[in-house]
Chains A and B, each alone.
Chain A
Amino acid sequence: MKFIKVYILILIFSANIFAQEPYVRKFFLNVKHSLVVVSLELEDSFPSEILERVRSGLPLTFTYYFYLKSKGTIKDKVWIKTKVTITCKYDPVKIEYRLNFRKDDQLFDTRYVHSWSETAKLMSSFQNLSLFEVPEEAKGEEIFLSFKVHLLSKTKWLIFPSSISVPETVSTTFKINE
């Protein structure tokens, strides 16, 4: 099987001028033997609201949504999608952070980390994370990968739903030969 290696470097400057909104600093997409592998890094993903939550001892969950899509006239066609969640909870007795990694709600890794910096790094970056295989139907089509990250839900003026998130980020289109 031929493989196509596509290196895409996207620098997205989506930081809000009023506040330091989280944004994607690095995003690498690799397709190896139809397997989509990503590496990414978020920047400014720990504003005060998130730190406050971590310090309060309540669990903090970052949710990464990945979609393999094709451009459509009205709406993009989604070939396959996956969700990766990283939940962090601080244990004050053991003085450690417990990180649970789940993919589509299935636990695939647990880490115990003593330092906050490492915890933050583990939560806001991936290195060569295998997402999914490109479906047969999508081969030969112009496809692209999009992802968005949900960091924390909150409310504006106590009524309107809001959240701390990274808006949808897309790769350039590519094609997998059949």
Chain B
Amino acid sequence: MNNPENKKKLKLLEAVLLLLGFSIAFVYIFLFRRESLEKHLTSNQTFLLFLWYLNIIFIIVLFFIIIRQLIKLVLERKERVLGFRLRTKLVLSLMALVLIPIIFLFIFAMDLIVQANQIPEDLPQIFSNVEEIVKDWDKKEMKKLFEFTQKVSTFLINTPEKFWYRDVQKFCSREDISFFQVYREKNFLFSINCQALKNLELSSFDFLKEIRENGKSYLWKEENKRWTLRVGSLFVKEDIYYSFVAGKIYPQEIGMGREKFLLGSQNLKELSYQKKNLDITRILIFLFLTLSVGFAGIWLGAYLTRYFTNPLSQILEGTREVAGGNLDIKLPHSNMEDWDLLFTYFNYMVQEIKNYRGLLAEEREYLKTLVENLTLGILNVKIDGSIITINKKGKEFLNFESEGENLYKKLEEDFSPIYKWLQESLKGKISFSQIFELKANTLCLSVNYVPFSPNSFLLILEDVTEFIRAQRMGTWKEAAQKIAHEIKNPLTPIQLFSEHIKKKIDGDKFEKEELLSSINTILDEVSHLRGMVDAFSQFARMPLPNPQKMDLKELFFQLKEIYDNLHPKLKISIDISPQFPEIEADKELLRRALVNLIDNGVEAMKFEGNIILKAEIKENDVLIYVIDEGTGIPENIKTNIFQPYVSTKGRGSGMGLSIVDRIIKDHRGKITFEENSPKGTKFIISIPVS
């Protein structure tokens, strides 16, 4: 019993029973007792006033409740209480839904009530007129009977009492009366029953008293189910008071008709008199019911609104706490099942977030430790150069003392090559990597730029000094081997022919042509050696590109002009849009690269045929195609065609494609190739537009 839940249920049950009781009582009164109650109520001014005051109180209470709700909403709005907008909309909608219909209903019903009670205008007049006729008839009848008593009085004044019965009988027979009674003082003397009526009643003491006191009187009375009119007059003879009562009995239809009409007329007068009170009573009762409904509706609505918005505010408050970082928040249990379920899930969700946060913190700590102890330098930098995070190795590489320093400033001061390159990378907004030799070539740093977010990027620094050194060593070794091999090739015939010449000169047996041929061979080999040295020198002294705005169409046509003049059997076709935009590239280096590619194509086609120079824009890259119809690239050298000293031409330097590859890479582009259809090779250069 102490359980709050049970108490609540009990209260609810009591309220329901009470409401049921009231409803039954109301229905009973309305259906069975309405008329008598109304009659009682309309004549009771006290009740009318009570109704008035009750209604006024109800109006005040309703007004108070509405104002209170509105003030509450305004205050909540001012204090920005969570959920105030929803509550405002709900409460205002509810009030409108309850009040507007009941106001309209009341106004309409009020009119109906008044109209329903309306008495036709001419009806009272009609009744009044007929009533006058009835009253006139009454008076005439009374007058007739009264005149009869007067006549009898006059006649009997000189007649002794013992003869009255005989004489009055004669009178009665000639007149249209039903009976005649004579009383001496209060005592009955005799009665003449003119119509042989049964059970004829004597006149009452009060009637006789009135005759005695007033000299005359009359009495309408229902006797034995028939209406009787008695008229009495006083007759004094010899100081004795006689009462003469003449009476007439009317047929039932006349008597009843008269009675019904007079009663009806009386009821109409009563109704007319009561009409105003009746209207007011009905209106007040209806107003009371309307206000009750309005009061109940608004009160219930406010209660239901709270039922909905209070838990919602709790949820909002909880969510706000979680958003603020408080994961210890826990919503209390709700008595309402649905809300309780939501609260439970909310609490569970918050607990899960708390758990995951813990896990995330652990993971973050792990990653932080990992990054901090990596042999790579890792910087997370904002676009404006301020460092978000930098690990220990990063600080070591760049001589940073604290994370508060600006990266760009530091780089500009101490590592200007990296600074310049970074600025270019930022413009391109692509992942890019570059190796820098710093500190008088004692440190080789690989710097990798990785866009991280719209406002920040990562710089990954790796000490590749040893790697570069080893690579260079390896490269030099390889280069030295290749150079040695290339040099050895021409040196061998030079040595052979020199020894041959020496032998001939020593033997004094040489012919001029033989000697010249040997010398020419030696000169050829020396020339070849020189060419190789030149190519190597060119490769070694390749400058970094200086990108400028340039017109690719112009370059294409320049090249075409050169090769058209050089090789008449060769045709250079150009496939480029007249509206092709300017690109950013080092014109000279690009020319050199294209020249190398065209030269290779020309040689592969044996100086005749068609070479196509094509260019197009794809996304942010310029694609340059150099397409020949030559013999194609042998399978065995496809994989390392861009390496130095790789050549299909017997005595070529093997540096051409390496130079092209270097130039394109310096432009942050790439070069690939594929087989052309039906024959030949298609080289595809891809460099950024800017």
Contacts and interface: CB of A to CB of B under 8 A. Distances in A.
Contacts of A58: 43, 270, 273-274
Nearest to A58: B270
A53 B647 CA distance: 138
A98 to B, nearest CB: 11
Contacts of A90: 266
A58 B278 CA distance: 14
Contacts of A75: none
Given A153-B45, A155-B48, A161-B45, A52 B262 contact: no
Contacts of A93: 220, 258-259, 262-263
B266 A155 contact: no
Given A92-B265, A92-B266, A93-B263, A158 B138 contact: no
Contacts of B218: 95, 114
A161 B274 CA distance: 17
Given A57-B266, A92-B265, A154 B45 contact: yes
Given A94-B220, A94-B221, A95-B220, A161 B49 contact: yes
Interface residues of A, number: 20
Interface in B38-68: 43, 45-46, 48-49, 52, 56
A95 B138 CA distance: 9
Contacts of B258: 93
Size class of the contact patch on chain B: 20 to 34
A112 interface: yes
A154 to B, nearest CB: 7
Interface string A43-68: 00000000011011110000000000
A120 B575 CA distance: 132
A74 interface: no
A11 interface: no
Contact of A57 (B45, B56, B217, B269): B269
Could you say which of A56, A112, A159 has the most chain B C-beta atoms within 10 Å of its C-beta? Answer: A56
A94 B52 CA distance: 38
A158 B273 contact: no
A176 B48 CA distance: 45
A51 B220 CA distance: 24
Contacts of A153: 45-46
Contacts of B274: 56, 58
B331 interface: no
Contacts of B635: none
Could you say which of A57, A112, A161 has the most chain B C-beta atoms within 10 Å of its C-beta? Answer: A57
B206 interface: yes
A160 B259 CA distance: 39
B219 interface: yes
A53 B49 contact: no
Interface string A124-159: 000000000000000000000000000001110011
Contacts of B272: 56
Contact of A92 (B45, B46, B48, B263): B263
Contacts of B46: 153
A55 B52 contact: no
Contact of A55 (B45, B267, B269): B269
Contacts of B221: 94
A49 B118 CA distance: 21
A92 B127 CA distance: 13
Interface string A81-116: 000000000101111100000000000000010100
23 contacts: A52-B273, A55-B269, A55-B273, A56-B270, A56-B272, A57-B267, A57-B269, A58-B43, A58-B270, A90-B266, A92-B262, A93-B258, A93-B259, A95-B218, A96-B219, A112-B206, A112-B210, A114-B210, A154-B45, A155-B45, A155-B49, A158-B52, A159-B56
Interface of B: 43, 45-46, 48-49, 52, 56, 138, 206, 210, 217-221, 258-259, 262-263, 265-267, 269-270, 272-274, 280
In the A-B complex, the 4 residue pairs with the smallest Cβ-Cβ separation, listed nearest first, are A56-B273, A92-B262, A57-B266, A153-B45
